[in-house]
Each structure stands twice: as C-alpha cells, then as structure tokens.
Amino acid sequence: MIGFDYGTSNCSVAIMANGQPKIIPLANNHKTIASNLYAPDRDIISHWLYQQLSNEQQNAFKTVRVTQLQKAQRALRELAFDGINSELVFGQAALGKYLEDPEEGYYIKSPKSFLGASGLAPMQIQLFEDIVAAMMSNIKTLTEAKLGKEVTKTVIGRPINFQGLHGEESNQQAISVLTNAAKRVGFKEVEFQYEPVAAGFEFEASLSKETKVLVVDIGGGTSDCSMLLMGPALSHSDDRTQHLLAHSGVRIAGNDFDIQLALQGIMPNLGMNGLLKTGKPIPTASFYQAVAINNINEQTEFYSAKNRRDLILLSRDAKETAMVERLITVHDHKLSYQLVNSAEQAKIALSEQNHQTINLNDIDTDLSTIVTTDTLRSANKRTLDSIGELMKSAVQQAQSQPEVIFVTGGTAKSPVISDFIQQQMPNIPVVIGDHFGSVTSGLARWAEKIYK
C-alpha cells in the first residue's frame, strides 16, 4: 500500500516502514517526478498505455478505446516512417524533449489542472484519463521496481476543490478520472484524502498535546486550508471527521504565480501595456491567452488560425510593431509552456535571491528581462489576497483561532508567500513543513490506518 501524491506540479509516493513514512525515490533517485508528459504524437498515448496493461486489462481497454487505438496505429506508422521513437517521456525529461523543439510532439504539464474543467467532450475526458493513467503507470512501475513487489492499494491526495467552474460537479468529474486511471493500471483499492488533511497527519506526529492546527497547503494548482484538531491521543482514530473543524480551497496556486509573473515580467517585452498608433492601449486578451497553460479554452483560442490573423493586424496597428511580432513568434513556435517555465524557474531562483534574469532568446535574439521579488509580489497581489481570504474563511468556519499554522506545498517555499502567510496572523507561530513531502507522508500514514 502506498500514499500517492498525484500533484499538479510534482508526483511522489511513500510507504510506511517501521512506523514512519518513507518517500520512495523515483526517476534518477529523486523523491519527486515532475507532472509532465511528452509524446511524439498525441494519438499514441492510448497505445502506449495499452502496452503496459495485463492481457485481461488490455481486453477491457480495447472495448472502450477502439477509435483511439485505430488512430494510434496510423500515427505509429508515420512515426516509424520518419524514424521517430514512439516512446512516451515523463517528468523533467518530458520538459527537455519539449524544449528541444516546441513545435513538434505533444507536451502537457500539470494535467491535474484540467480534470475538473467544464465543457469537456467525452473524447477529451478519455484523453485526460489516458494521460493520467500513463503517468500513474510509470510511477507505479518505478515504485514496484524500488520495492521489489506489486502495489495494489493506494490513498491518493486530492485538493478541497479541483480547478473547475461547477463546484462539486467538477470535483466528481476529476475524482472519476483519477479513480478510473488508477484502477486501469492495476490499483485494486483506491481511496482519497484531502491534501491539507494528509499534511496535517504528518505534522500531528510531532505534537505532544492536543492542538488546533491551521494547515495551509499551497500546491501547483490549488491552495487549500484545513483547521484540524490534532494530538497524540487523537491520532489513533480511524474516523477523523469530528476533528476536521473547517475546510476551504481555491483553484489558484503555483501555476498562477508563474503565469502572473510571466504576464508582468515577460509580456511587456512582447508588447503588452503598449499603445496602438491611435494612442489607445493595446488589447491584452491574447497576452493572457498565450500564458494560460492551465486553461484549455484560452490556449485553443490563442493557437487558432483566426487569432494569428488578428495578431498580424494587431502588430500593424501597434506603435511598436516589432514588439507585438514577438507574440506572433510565441504563437508560431508554440512557446507558451516555455514562457511559463521561464517564469517558474525565475520564481524558484527568487527564493534565494532578489533579482533574476530571464533569457528570451527563443523569441528574439539577445532578448532578456530582469524580474525581482517585488515583481513577483506585485504581480501576485490578487493571488496572495485570495490565500489570505482562504485562511480567514477556515478560521471563520471553525469559529476558533488556530494555535499554530502549518505550511506546506512547493509554492510556499517562496519567501514572498511565507512572509505573507505570517503577516495574516502575526501572533500565531508558523511551522514550515517539508514543502514536497508532508502530504505524501501523511497519505502513507492514512493508507496504513485504513488498509490495516
């Protein structure tokens, strides 16, 4: 049995060993694997997944993916003719393959962001289910290789609310995709636990007395808060419902910090905030769409042929035509993920320093820009305020103040964010957990408890 953090930005797995959680090293012995997938052609994803399944699973899969598997055969013939390897690539290696040639292949980062999206057609839901299943299959294989035995039971972390406009309907759609994917690749028993609650279970192991804990989990796709009553006397309970005093969650987090930093730090170099020849401001919709990597509809609109024609007209109408032509380069070379990745790397660097240069040579020769911690802070003022409201909402629901704030999630590693959290409740101590491991470890603890 494993605890499985299928995260928006990273995935990790843990087991219980000698009463303590142990995170399993995955690719290249790293404790996490980036939630990225690269395929030389989108249509071969279903075929790759089919090959990983047992004979019984393959027969069941054939009956529900006939069309996809037929398309895959055509795509495989074309790849073979061109001498292109048909294997899928995962994690940082997937990002590397995309960056080699952004115009080729199919790259997806953070598919978890799309699972609750509204308006998805059945074929789109099936595609996301296969993408998730392929990623899970890869992680399950890596885990079993490290453990030397099959893994059949898992507790998967989930946010309070997935990204989506339809509330509980979006949540159920996302849970259904995750459940189907997990069972498809051989998990016989699948349970879910709220990510901030799981992080709280890990923190609980360090407590010596009953304590009200506000867990703030700022991940890649969602920010979640839970107010939990915790302590050594409570930790043995199989039903913690009465100890969960409040839940609140919003569909903003690390990806949004990256996108907002890209907008404020990079997009002015592509014409955003510039003027038309008439003296009016340049419309900003395409600049937002270009970096909206967590929104299928916005990305589809940006990369449409009609939008390219509109961008050409916009560049002609702009006072600085060459600046807006850089946005056309982003369109033509499919550089959205590259822009947001540059912003993400700058955000990470700003955890250690005050300034960071972003190289934009792929857009224009010798083009670069400098961002600072102040850029990150001002770009994300609205996002930070939403996290502050999230914390207040949990406290109001619980009708009591926390005695300690426990912070986890990779995005919370930024001093801009951790400082902001402390400012919200200055008289309450803040404990910073393992940014990438607290949720995973807590999921392993819960797996041991419910599957014993």
334: left (phi over 0), alpha (psi -120 to 50) or beta: left
What residues have CB less than 8 Å from 60, skipping those under 6 apart? Answer: none
CA neighbor of 400 nearest in space, from 390, 408, 392: 392
Name the maximum alpha-carbon separation found in the chain. 71
Separation CA 48–CA 72 (nearest Å): 9
Determine the distance from the C-alpha atom of residue 61 to the mean position of all C-alpha atoms in its chain, rounded to a whole number.
Answer: 27
**What amino acid is encoded at 99 in this protein?**
L
What pLDDT sits at residue 164? 57
pLDDT digit string (tens) for 39-92? Answer: 999 999 999 999 999 888 899 899 999 999 999 999 999 999 999 999 999 999
Residue pair 387/223 in contact (Cβ under 8 Å)? The answer is yes
What pLDDT sits at residue 205? 86
User: Residue 403 corresponds to which tokens in the numbers above?
Assistant: 């005695």
Separation CA 403–CA 401 (nearest Å): 7
Work out the number of other CB atoms within 10 angstroms of the CB of residue 368.
12
Paired sense of beta strands 2-6 and 153-158, if any:
parallel
User: Residue 271 corresponds to which tokens in the numbers above?
Assistant: 């014409």
Separation CA 216–CA 437 (nearest Å): 14
Residue pair 243/226 in contact (Cβ under 8 Å)? The answer is no
Separation CA 282–CA 97 (nearest Å): 34
What CA–CA distances, in Å, run from 264 to 156, 273, 336?
A: 35, 10, 15
What residues have CB less than 8 Å from 51, skipping those under 6 apart? Answer: none
Instruction: Compute φ and ψ for 187, nearest 5 degrees.
Output: -80, 120
What residues have CB less than 8 Å from 305, skipping those under 6 apart? Answer: none
For residue 357, the SS3 value is strand
H or E element that contains 147:
helix 122-147
Paired sense of beta strands 355-359 and 368-372, if any:
antiparallel
Q: Which domains does the chain have, with CATH numbers?
A: 2-195 (3.30.420.40), 209-253+381-434 (3.30.420.40), 255-370 (no CATH)
User: Residue 29 corresponds to which tokens in the numbers above?
Assistant: 């012995």
What pLDDT sits at residue 182? 96
What pLDDT sits at residue 273? 93
DSSP at 273: T
CA neighbor of 184 nearest in space, from 3, 53, 325: 53
Determine the distance from the C-alpha atom of residue 430 to the mean position of all C-alpha atoms in its chain, rounded to a whole number.
Answer: 25
Separation CA 429–CA 227 (nearest Å): 15
Separation CA 355–CA 364 (nearest Å): 22
Exposed/middle/buried for residue 302 (C-beta within 10 Å: 0-12, 13-18, 19+): buried
pTM higher than 0.75, yes or no? Answer: yes
Q: Which residues of the chain have pLDDT under 50?
A: none
Q: What is the dihedral of CA 180, 186, 191, 193, to 10 degrees?
A: -90
Separation CA 345–CA 413 (nearest Å): 13
CA neighbor of 260 nearest in space, from 100, 424, 96, 416: 416
Separation CA 44–CA 250 (nearest Å): 34
For residue 294, the SS3 value is coil
What residues have CB less than 8 Å from 347, skipping those under 6 apart? Answer: 257, 258, 261, 376, 414
